[in-house]
Amino acid sequence: MDIRDKFDTSRSRRRIGEGLYSFIDSSNFDSHWDEADKEIPLLKLQQGEEFLSAALTDLKQANFVLDAGCGDGVHSQVLKKLNIQSTTYCFLDLSESALLKAQSRAPANSIFVQGDVCSLPFRDNSFDVTFSYGVIAYSDEPQKAFRELLRVTRSGGLIGFWILPKPQGFGGLVFSFLRSAYKVLNIIGLGFLLVHLMVPIWGFLPTKSGLALWNSSYKAVKEVVSVNISPKQLSVLEADEIMSWVDRTVVEVEKNDVNEKVTLWLRKI
């Protein structure tokens, strides 16, 4: 079966490139990815490998895999390295710029879809493995996105999430202040100055991403700062709130590291 047979045919789509389809018009996140480093930082790739390691057995047996919110392709690159010949991959993102970058890193048997994780343009039960790394908090309705990932995964399939929960204490206050300051400065087009100002500070702190100026490039740290303070939409979710969405009559929890980050792998019943 061709992976394009998984598309929801009631939705209108355009073919915008080789293996690249669009279901929405959006330029959100384009400038973010246009400015990203050419190479994916090693640390990010290691984190990508670690995240996918919980799904390795399923990935090796899967026919169809969906990465919802693929960004510039960290997981595409990890999957390419795994070199699983029998699988077809679908990489989805809001941003065409992200998809073009992911395309250059992905396994040969892949298609790319510009779409919204809150309204996935696929039929029910389409994928064997579905995952979304650091994405649903940026969507308009994170819980809807969560349900959409479950909907498009087949019964017995595996669904993975990585979600950064609400920063607590002093870190939480600083985070809220920076996001508000960015919004105000950006009214006069100066938000980018705050991002640059924060790179040398953020880049020397032990942040949750692990990316710092001593182990990554300036551009890589800038990407982390920018993705935390500049997006129009970013819900800060409590780990408990995320876990309250998990309906145990529909899924079994296979892996749940609720530490400072929420890594969740669910098996659809």
Ligand X SMILES: C[S@@+](CC[C@H](N)C(=O)[O-])C[C@H]1O[C@@H](n2cnc3c(N)ncnc32)[C@H](O)[C@@H]1O
| Residue ranges that bind ligand X, judged by CB under 6 A | 29, 69-71, 74, 93-95, 98, 116-118, 133-135, 138-139, 227
What's the token pair of residue 140? 């308009």
Residue number with CB closer to ligand X (14 or 252): 14
Nearest CA to 76 out of 138, 131, 117 is that of: 131
CB nearer to ligand X: give 93 or 128.
93
Residue in the shown chain whose Cβ atom is closest to ligand X: 71
Least gap, CB of 248 to ligand X (angstroms): 26
H helices of the chain, where?
30-34, 42-53, 56-61, 74-82, 96-103, 142-152, 169-187, 191-202, 218-229, 239-244
3-state secondary structure of 265: strand
The least CB distance from residue 208 to ligand X, in Å, is: 12
CB nearer to ligand X: pick between 81 and 156: 81
Q: Which two tokens stand for residue 60?
A: 């090796």
Q: CA torsion angle for 199, 202, 206, 210 (degrees, to 10)?
A: -40
The CB-of-104 to ligand X minimum distance in angstroms stands at 15
Of 118 and 246, nearer to ligand X (C-beta) is 118
Instruction: Quote the least distance from Cβ 29 to ligand X, whole Å.
Output: 3
The Cα–Cα gap between 132 and 81 comes to 19
**227/266 with CB nearer ligand X:** 227
Cα maximum dimension of the chain: 52
List the one residue out of 188, 170, 34, 13 whose CA is nearest residue 96: 34
Closest approach of ligand X to the CB of residue 245, in Å: 17
Query: What CA–CA distance (Å, rounded) separates 181 from 191?
Result: 8
Closest CA to 236 of 145, 175, 159: 175
Q: Using CA atoms, how far apart are residues 166 and 169, in angstroms rounded to an integer?
A: 10
Compute the least distance from the CB of residue 135 to ligand X, in Å. 4
| Cβ-based nearer residue to ligand X, 56 or 269 | 56
Would you say 134 or 249 has its CB closer to ligand X?
134
Nearer to ligand X, 98 or 149 (CB): 98
Shortest Å distance, C-beta 152 to ligand X: 13
- Residue 55 beta carbon to ligand X: minimum distance, rounded to whole angstroms: 15
Amino acid at 78: V
- Its sign, for the CA torsion 6, 100, 118, 168, is positive
